[in-house]
Amino acid sequence: MSALIDFGNVWKEYGDQVVLERLNLKVQAGEFCTIVGASGCGKTTLLRMLLGVEEPTRGQILLDGRRLSAEPGPDRGIVFQRYSVFPHLTVLRNVMLGLELKGARLTGHLFGAARRRAREQAHQMLASVGLDQALDKYPSELSGGMQQRLALAQSLVMHPRILLLDEPFGALDPGIRRDMHRLVLDLWTRNDLTVLMITHDLKEGFYLGTRLLVFDKLRHDPQAPDRYGAGITYDLPVGQADRLLFEEIRRDVEQPEPEPVQAECC
């Protein structure tokens, strides 16, 4: 069975600075991967390459066996930590927007029966994230957690092949975050999604999803910290990791590396 996402020996460099090196990764349809790593260690770069806003320096990324287009498209949904929803549209119209853009290439507005269908579809999607009480509110009237629910609904109504989450709950309170975890797991099972989620919170990585990917440097040159890029240091099925391993990864991820030259990171 061929993988949904296939990274083939991908490198990413900015000038002399190597961010990612020799990255080989296959993700099957239906997986829920969480990605952790010290800040700046290439995990956001990975996501940006998947999204299409950056291109790999070497190697290739395949989606469904085809080369990934080098700009964002409707096959990949995204929820950022902030600025994922449109401030000038109400909740309902935020979710309708994707359907309208897909359905009316010239005007970007649907009318008549098509509009009613889109409205109905958006309404259902909003109900499934628990926002059907706030249809006519503007995003600025919503709490941070509700805004992220809206962002999820907005992406999912398009039925993307993969859903990318860039620290989506990083700015939320712990209690709200737990609710959001439940919601994401629920949406994932009900919609047969493939999810890649970046997180700072290692616990989140351990308990959410099916697979944990840890990014860190594979080799180190103390004289030239930018010389080598990061790669995948752990690739674990979630649920099999024990306490000791958790502690070990936590040390890798959360502690600043003792380097003679303090670089920005990777």
Partner 1 sequence: MKRLINQQPSRFLGVTLGLLPFVLLVVVYAVASGARLAENADDKLLPSFASFGEAIHRMAMEPNKRTGEILLWTDTWASLGRLATGVGLSALIGLVFGIALGALPLARAGLAPLVASLSLIPPMALLPILFILFGLGELSKVVLIVFGTAPFIVRDMQQRVQELPRELLVKAQTLAGNSWQIVLRVILPQVLPRLVDAVRLSLGAAWLFLIAAEAIASTEGLGYRIFLVRRYLAMDVILPYVAWITLLAYLTDYILRLVSRLAFPWYGEGAKEGT
Q: Could you tell me the CA-to-CA distances from 183 to 83, 93, 99 in Å, in that order?
A: 20, 21, 23
Please enumerate, as own/partner, the contacts of 177-181 that have beta carbons within 8 Å and a separation of 24 or more: 177/201, 177/204, 179/145, 180/145, 180/148, 180/149, 181/207, 181/208
* Residue range at the interface with partner 1 (CB under 8 A); choices 21-29, 76-84, 118-126, 187-195: 76-84
Q: Which residue among 72, 130, 144, 170 contacts partner 1 (CB under 8 A)?
A: 72
Q: Which of residues 135-154 bind partner 1 (CB under 8 A)?
A: 138-141, 151, 154
Sole binder of partner 1 in the list 74, 222, 237, 239 (CB under 8 A)? 74
Q: What is the 3-state secondary structure (H, E, C) of 158-171?
A: CCCCEEEEECCCCC
Nearer to partner 1, 21 or 100 (CB): 100
Among positions 18, 19, 68, 78, the unique one binding partner 1 when judged by CB under 8 A: 78
Interacting span for partner 1 (CB under 8 A) from 10-18, 95-103, 196-204, 249-257? 95-103
Positive or negative, the CA dihedral 25, 56, 167, 144 is negative
Q: Determine the interface stretch with partner 1 among 4-12, 32-40, 82-90, 210-218 (rule: CB under 8 A).
A: 82-90
| Site for partner 1 contains 223 (CB under 8 A) | no
Pull the structure tokens for residue 222.
């103390």
